[in-house]
Amino acid sequence: MTASVISAESIPGTGRAAQGAIELRQVSKHYGDVVAVDELDLTVQPGEFVTLLGPSGSGKTTTMMMVAGFEEHTAGTVLIDGRPVDSLPPRDRNLGVVFQNYALFPHMSALENVEFALRMRKVPRPERRQRAEEALGRVGLGKMGGRKPRQLSGGQQQRVALARALVFNPAALLLDEPMAALDKRLREQMQEEIKTLQKGLGISVLFVTHDQDEAMAMSDRIVVMKDGKIVQSGPPEEVYNHPLTDWVASFLGDTNLIPCTIVERNGEEAVVDLGGLGLAKVRDRGASGENYAVSIRPEHLKFKTRASAGNGCAATLVSSTNLGATVRHRLTAGGHELQLRELSSDQGTRILPDEELWVGWDADKAQLLVLES
């Protein structure tokens, strides 16, 4: 067999058996007085792409390091495909790892760097070479195996790291901010390539980012972390459209937060009093706390005619800013400052300064949440 022939099991879409379930049960990590990860329960299903999203210091890297086996946890259990791995060293956990600071060896060629992962796992030499070449081919670097890392661009180096993580057919991939050092265009390209690879191989991925756009673009499920804990978890649209707290809503993008009092709760729906904005029907996910607000994303606020049905009220335009693809309008309505965002291409009639304005929103786009701050 020539070195460039890709074996059947590595061809995307040929679907090897689903594996790669990762489970954390009540996992904690303390560094002295610092609680980096606090009794975390987390599951990644075989083939699932799960993203840990949170600000710096929220415990994402520590969580990854414990799954990979580079850090020992203080309490709890980590299971891979149902087996506890707490006493296994990293290389016996069958996980491919790309960390931001998990650099390539500078004195080795790209091919030798990829081969190294197989050498560690005692794969015989001839097979090693062939599989390393296949893995480089899979990430589009088939012809660059002879280059040293310094002869490769940042994006190409990250591809080598990805090939090194995939070459031993791991059960799952752990990727900790793997694109953080790349510029925006390259990052978006790599995001798509990683998604394509992941779907083709049917491999599960535990991914870390602090970039909400990246999390939205890549994930089957987003796990939002804060202070070592999970604050919300769900499919991207679900977390974006139905945040449980003002912190989650604001961390995932711009939003209008309107303080409210609850008049009535009926399962998925609630009636709230929005003060100057009157009574409104909103979505309710059952979050409970002391103070409440309604979150409406700026793109879900719409200019309306007074006659149109549904939630809405009179508004005054404060300013309009063209941001290229979108226009951001600042308004006041019922004593609240609101942001409304529309596509530049949708911007219909020009708004005149003295014109009477009306803004509204669909009830299913307004989310009742708990005000933490």
CA–CA separation, 133 and 140 (whole Å):
11
Q: Does 59 bind ligand ADP (CB under 6 A)?
A: yes
Q: Which is nearer to Mg ion, 42 or 277 (CB)?
A: 42
Site for ligand ADP in 80-119 (CB under 6 A): none
- Name the site residues for Mg ion (rule: CB under 5 A): 60-61
Contact 277, 336 (CB under 8 A): yes
Q: Is the distance from CB of 284 to CB of 265 less than 8 angstroms?
A: yes
Is 54 a binding residue for ligand ADP by CB under 6 A? The answer is: yes
- Tell me whether residue 55 or residue 278 sits nearer to ligand ADP (CB atom): 55
The listed partner (ligand ADP, Mg ion, none) that binds 241, CB under 5 to 8 Å by sort, is: none
Query: Which pair of structure tokens corresponds to residue 338?
Result: 């609101």
Residue 209 interacts with ligand ADP (CB under 6 A)? Answer: no
Nearer to ligand ADP, 61 or 245 (CB): 61
62 binds ligand ADP (CB under 6 A): yes
- Cα separation, 143 vs 370, in Å, equals 54
**By CB under 6 A, residue 56 contacts ligand ADP:** yes
Nearer to ligand ADP, 57 or 90 (CB): 57
Residue 142 binding result from Mg ion, ligand ADP, none, given CB thresholds of 5 to 8 Å by partner type: none
Smaller CB separation from Mg ion, 43 or 100: 100
Residue 111: its H or E element: helix 110-120
Residue in 50, 53, 60, 160 binding ligand ADP, rule: CB under 6 A: 60
User: Cβ distance 338 to 315 under 8 Å?
Assistant: yes
Say if residue 330 is exposed, middle or buried (CB neighbours under 10 Å; 0-12, 13-18, 19+): middle
Hey, what amino acid is at 299?
A: E
- Exposure class string for 163-181: b at 16+ Cβ within 10 A, else e: bbbbbbbbbbbbbbbbbee
Q: Are 338 and 330 in contact (CB under 8 A)?
A: yes
Q: Which of 7, 9, 31, 127 binds ligand ADP (CB under 6 A)?
A: 31
**Which residue's beta carbon is nearest to the bound Mg ion?**
61
Residues binding ligand ADP (CB under 6 A): 31, 34, 36, 54, 56-62
